[in-house]
C-alpha cells in the first residue's frame, strides 16, 4: 500500500505533490510526508506529519517549503508505529531522500550490516535501509544515482515502488518498480511519478506504466527506462481525466455517492455486452471464444469483497453454466497443494487490480496448467489485467471509499454475463438466454427503486448504534451477501458482525442471541424461503431482535420481535445484487450514527499492495 508522488518542474511542485497525496489517501492515511529540494545549495527540506494529508498540508504551510524537485508519500504502516519519525520520506544524512511502497523482507539483515558499517538508524521502518544503501554506494562520488539504485536493488528481497532524490544530482528522480505499481506522468518541460495516475490527473493525462523490474531516470525534459540492464521504450498511454470521480459532489461521503452511482455503473457495465435478447460474446475480445470453448471447470481467487463476489458467482456458474467451480481466498490459495483439473479456467476478481495477494495468486496460477487466466477488474491499466490472458472490465469508475460498494455489484453483473456465455456451451437454449438477458436489463431500474429505501433504513440504523455485536444470516446464494453485509458493517462502524448460513444457527451461534444482538437476515422470494423463515423463528423464540430485508411479494410483516424492510420484488437471478444495496445503506448510516470516518476507516487502506 502507501501512495507515492514525485515531481520535477520549473515551477514550485509542493502544491502538486500535496494534491497528489490527497488523491492517493485511499492507499493509506496513517501519516504523510514531503521532501522538497530547494535553494542554491539544493537543500532537502523534509516535512512530515502523523494522520491524514491535511495534517501535512498544515505543516507544510507553516514551513512555506518550496522547490522544483520533490517526492511525497502517504503511509499505511507495516513496520513501525505511526510516528513522525517512521513517516516517509526517509533520509540518509542530508543528501538522499526516498519514498517507498512495499515491504523489504530482508531489512533486518541489511540494517545489521549497515549499523556495523557505522550508519545510525532513526526509524523502525524497513525502508530506511534503502536510503543508507544508496548513500553507501554513492559516497565515493564515482557512482551515479541511477547506477547506485540499480546496484542496491539487487540486495533487496520483497516488494518496492521506489523514488529517490539526491542533492548531488538535483536534476533527476530515480524510480524503480518490483511488486508495487509506478507510473511516469509525462508533462511538457516537466515530468512526474506516482503509484497511480489518479494522483497526477491535475497535471497530465499522459502516462507510462513501468513494468516489473523497470528502473527509470526522470528529468525535466525527458526520462529513460532500463530493464534487465538494457534501455527500453515503453508506450505512452493517454487517460481521460477522472476528476469528477474524485469529487464527492452533493454527497457527504464517497461511499454514499458510490452507493447511489450503482444504477448508472451497472448500466455502463451492461452496455455493449448485452443486446436485445442475447449476450454479445464479441465484447469479450477475440481470444475469448477459443478459451471459453475449452472450459470444463472454473477456479476463482480473490480477497475481501471481491471474494464474496466470487462466492456468489460459484452458485451461478454451477446453476446456469453447469460448471464445477472452486473458490479460494487469494492469500491462502498458493500455499495449498492445488490440483488443477484439465480444462480449468483461472479467474481473479479485484476492484483495484493491484491487491498483492491476488496478483501473487495469478502469477502462481500462470505457471500451472490452467487453460487461461481471466481477470474481472475495475482498472484497465492494472497489473492484474496486464498479466492475465483475458479480462472482463467492470465499469464502476473510480471507487474511492475504502468500503467497496459499486465495485461489488458490477463484479456480480459481469459474472452473470460470463455465466450466460459459458452456459451456451453447456446447453443453455436461446429462449432461456433471452429470459436471463431480459431480467438482467431490468437491474439498473431495480437498484434505483431499492435506493429509495434509504430513509427507512436510516431510521432503523439507530437501533444498531449502541450495539457491540451483530449477526447476518442468509441461505444459499444469499449467504455470501450476508457475509458482504457483515464485512461492510464491521469495516466502517467497528461493530463486530458475523455472517452465518441461516441453517447453521442451531449448530452454535444461536447461543449468542439475546436482545443486545441484532440479527439481520436477507429474505428474497426463492426456494429456500420457508427454510429461512423457520430458522428466523428460532431467533424470535429466544428473544432475539430480527431485522429482515424481505422481498415485498412475500408479505412478511413487522411485529414486536421483527422489523421488516420490504425490498422491491426482483427475479431470482438478480436477488443477490439487489439485496446487497440495503445492507450497504444500513452500514453507512450506522457508521454515521457512530461518527466514524466512513471513507477512511481506521487501520485500513483502499488498495492492499502488501502480502
Binding site for ligand M6R (CB under 6 A): 303-306, 350-352, 355, 358, 402-404, 487, 491, 607-608
> In terms of Cα–Cα distance, which of 358, 373, 361, 386 is closest to 298?
373
Minimum CB separation from ligand M6R for residue 488, in Å? 6
Q: How far apart are the first and last CA of the chain?
A: 10
Q: Which residues pair with 412 in a beta bridge?
A: none
562 in Cβ contact with 518 (< 8 Å) = no
In the complex, residue closest to ligand M6R by CB: 304
- Residue among 119 and 588 whose Cβ is closer to ligand M6R: 588
* Catalytic position from the list 2, 163, 303, 562: 2
Residue 584 CA, distance from chain mean position: 17
- Residue among 125 and 358 whose Cβ is closer to ligand M6R: 358
What angle do the packed helices 479-493 and 575-594 form, to 10 degrees?
20
Per-position b or e across 113-123, b if 16+ CB within 10 A of its CB? ebeeeebeeeb
- Residue among 3 and 304 whose Cβ is closer to ligand M6R: 304
> In terms of Cα–Cα distance, which of 194, 228, 226, 231 is closest to 209?
194
Minimum CB separation from ligand M6R for residue 610, in Å? 11
> In terms of Cα–Cα distance, which of 37, 31, 47, 40 is closest to 13?
37
563 in Cβ contact with 547 (< 8 Å) = yes
Minimum CB separation from ligand M6R for residue 148, in Å? 34
- Residue among 86 and 180 whose Cβ is closer to ligand M6R: 180
513 in Cβ contact with 550 (< 8 Å) = no
Residue 229 class from Cβ within 10 Å (0-12 exposed, 13-18 middle, 19+ buried)?
exposed
Residues whose CB is less than 8 angstroms from the CB of residue 202 and which lie 6 or more positions away in sequence, other chains included:
16, 19, 20, 243
> In terms of Cα–Cα distance, which of 299, 158, 184, 198 is closest to 237?
184
> In terms of Cα–Cα distance, which of 449, 420, 411, 442 is closest to 269?
411
* Catalytic position from the list 257, 490, 563, 606: 606
Alpha-carbon gap, residue 169 to 167, rounded angstroms? 5
- Residue among 146 and 198 whose Cβ is closer to ligand M6R: 198
For residue 26, how many other CB atoms are within 10 A of its CB?
26
Minimum CB separation from ligand M6R for residue 436, in Å? 26
Q: Which residues pair with 174 in a beta bridge?
A: 164, 217
498 in Cβ contact with 510 (< 8 Å) = no
- Residue among 38 and 352 whose Cβ is closer to ligand M6R: 352
Minimum CB separation from ligand M6R for residue 9, in Å? 32
- Residue among 379 and 548 whose Cβ is closer to ligand M6R: 379
- Residue among 137 and 493 whose Cβ is closer to ligand M6R: 493
What angle do the packed helices 454-461 and 575-594 form, to 10 degrees?
50
User: What sign does the CA torsion over 339, 341, 342, 343 have?
Assistant: negative
Q: Retrieve residue 568's grid coordinates.
A: 422491491
Verify whether residue 435 is a known catalytic residue.
no
- Residue among 137 and 580 whose Cβ is closer to ligand M6R: 580
- Residue among 190 and 357 whose Cβ is closer to ligand M6R: 357
Q: Retrieve residue 276's grid coordinates.
A: 436485445
Minimum CB separation from ligand M6R for residue 329, in Å? 11
- Residue among 217 and 305 whose Cβ is closer to ligand M6R: 305
573 in Cβ contact with 472 (< 8 Å) = no
DSSP secondary structure string for all residues of 532-574: HHHHHHHHHTTT-EEEEEEEGGG----BTTEEEEEEPP--GGG
The enclosing H or E element of 284 equals none
Verify whether residue 570 is a known catalytic residue.
no
Residues whose CB is less than 8 angstroms from the CB of residue 39 and which lie 6 or more positions away in sequence, other chains included:
67
Minimum CB separation from ligand M6R for residue 36, in Å? 32
Beta strands in 236-355 (DSSP E): 237-238, 274-275, 278-279, 297-302, 325-329, 344-350
Minimum CB separation from ligand M6R for residue 309, in Å? 9
Minimum CB separation from ligand M6R for residue 149, in Å? 29
Q: So which residues are the catalytic ones? A: 2, 606
Amino acid at each position: 500500500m502507501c501512495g507515492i508522488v514525485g515531481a520535477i518542474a520549473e515551477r514550485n511542485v509542493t502544491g502538486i505533490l500535496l494534491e497528489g497525496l490527497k488523491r492517493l489517501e485511499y492507499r493509506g492515511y496513517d501519516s504523510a510526508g514531503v521532501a522538497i529540494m530547494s535553494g542554491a545549495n539544493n537543500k532537502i527540506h523534509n516535512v512530515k506529519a502523523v494522520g491524514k494529508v491535511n495534517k501535512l498540508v498544515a505543516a507544510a504551510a507553516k514551513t512555506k517549503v518550496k522547490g522544483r524537485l520533490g517526492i511525497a508519500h502517504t503511509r499505511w504502516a507495516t513496520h513501525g508505529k505511526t510516528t513522525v519519525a517512521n513517516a516517509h520520506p526517509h533520509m540518509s544524512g542530508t543528501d538522499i531522500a526516498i519514498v517507498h511502497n512495499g515491504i523489504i523482507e530482508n531489512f533486518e539483515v541489511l540494517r545489521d550490516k549497515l549499523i556495523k558499517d557505522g550508519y545510525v538508524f532513526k526509524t523502525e521502518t524497513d525502508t530506511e535501509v534503502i536510503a543508507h544503501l544508496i548513500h553507501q554506494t554513492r559516497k565515493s562520488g564515482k557512482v551515479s544515482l541511477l547506477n547506485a539504485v540499480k546496484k542496491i536493488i539487487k540486495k533487496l528481497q520483497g516488494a518496492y515502488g521506489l523514488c529517490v532524490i539526491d542533492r548531488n544530482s538535483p536534476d533527476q528522480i530515480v524510480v524503480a518498480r518490483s511488486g508495487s505499481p509506478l507510473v511516469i506522468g509525462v508533462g511538457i518541460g516537466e515530468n512526474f511519478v506516482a503509484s497511480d495516475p489518479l494522483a497526477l490527473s491535475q497535471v497530465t493525462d499522459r502516462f507510462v506504466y513501468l513494468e516489473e523490474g523497470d528502473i527509470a531516470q526522470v528529468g525535466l525534459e525527458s526520462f529513460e527506462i532500463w530493464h534487465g540492464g538494457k534501455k527500453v521504450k515503453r508506450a505512452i498511454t493517454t487517460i481521460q481525466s477522472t476528476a469528477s470521480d474524485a469529487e464527492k459532489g452533493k454527497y457527504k461521503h464517497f461511499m454514499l455517492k458510490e452507493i447511489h452511482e450503482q444504477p448508472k455503473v451497472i448500466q455502463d457495465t451492461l452496455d455493449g455486452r448485452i443486446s436485445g435478447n442475447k449476450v454479445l460474446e464479441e465484447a469479450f475480445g477475440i481470444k475469448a471464444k477459443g478459451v471459453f470453448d475449452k472450459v470444463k471447470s472454473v477456479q476463482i481467487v480473490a480477497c475481501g469483497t471481491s471474494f464474496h463476489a466470487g462466492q456468489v458467482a460459484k452458485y451461478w456458474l454451477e446453476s446456469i453454466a453447469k460448471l464445477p467451480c472452486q473458490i479460494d481466498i487469494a492469500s491462502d490459495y498458493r500455499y495449498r497443494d492445488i490440483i488443477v483439473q484439465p480444462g480449468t479456467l483461472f479467474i481473479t476478481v479485484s476492484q483495484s487490480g493491484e491487491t498483492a495477494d491476488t496478483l501473487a495468486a495469478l502469477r502462481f496460477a500462470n505457471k500451472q496448467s490452467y487453460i487461461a487466466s481471466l481477470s474481472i477488474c475495475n482498472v484497465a491499466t492494472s497489473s492484474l489485467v496486464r498479466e492475465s490472458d483475458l479480462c472482463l472490465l467492470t465499469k464502476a469508475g473510480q471507487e474511492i471509499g475504502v468500503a467497496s460498494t459499486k465495485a461489488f455489484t458490477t463484479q456480480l453483473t459481469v459474472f452473470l454475463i460470463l455465466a450466460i456465455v459459458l452456459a451456451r456451451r453447456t446447453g443453455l437454449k436461446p429462449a432461456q438466454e433471452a429470459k436471463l438477458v431480459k431480467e438482467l436489463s431490468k437491474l439498473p431500474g431495480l437498484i434505483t427503486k431499492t435506493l429509495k429505501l434509504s430513509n427507512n433504513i436510516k431510521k432503523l440504523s439507530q437501533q444498531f448504534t449502541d450495539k457491540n455485536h451483530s449477526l447476518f444470516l442468509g441461505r444459499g446464494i444469499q449467504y455470501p451477501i450476508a457475509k458482504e453485509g457483515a464485512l461492510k458493517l464491521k469495516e466502517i462502524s467497528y461493530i463486530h458482525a458475523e455472517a452465518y448460513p441461516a441453517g447453521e444457527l442451531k449448530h452454535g451461534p444461536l447461543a449468542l442471541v439475546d436482545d443486545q444482538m441484532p440479527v439481520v437476515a436477507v429474505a428474497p422470494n426463492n426456494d429456500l424461503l420457508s427454510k429461512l423463515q423457520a430458522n428466523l423463528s428460532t431467533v424470535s423464540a429466544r428473544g432475539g431482535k430480527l431485522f429482515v430485508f424481505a422481498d415485498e411479494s412475500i408479505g412478511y410483516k413487522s411485529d414486536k420481535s421483527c422489523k421488516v424492510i420490504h425490498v422491491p420484488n426482483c427475479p431470482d437471478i438478480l436477488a443477490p445484487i439487489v439485496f446487497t444495496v440495503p445492507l450497504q445503506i444500513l452500514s453507512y448510516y450506522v457508521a454515521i450514527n457512530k461518527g466514524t470516518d466512513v471513507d477512511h476507516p481506521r487501520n485500513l487502506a483502499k488498495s492492499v499492495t502488501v502480502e
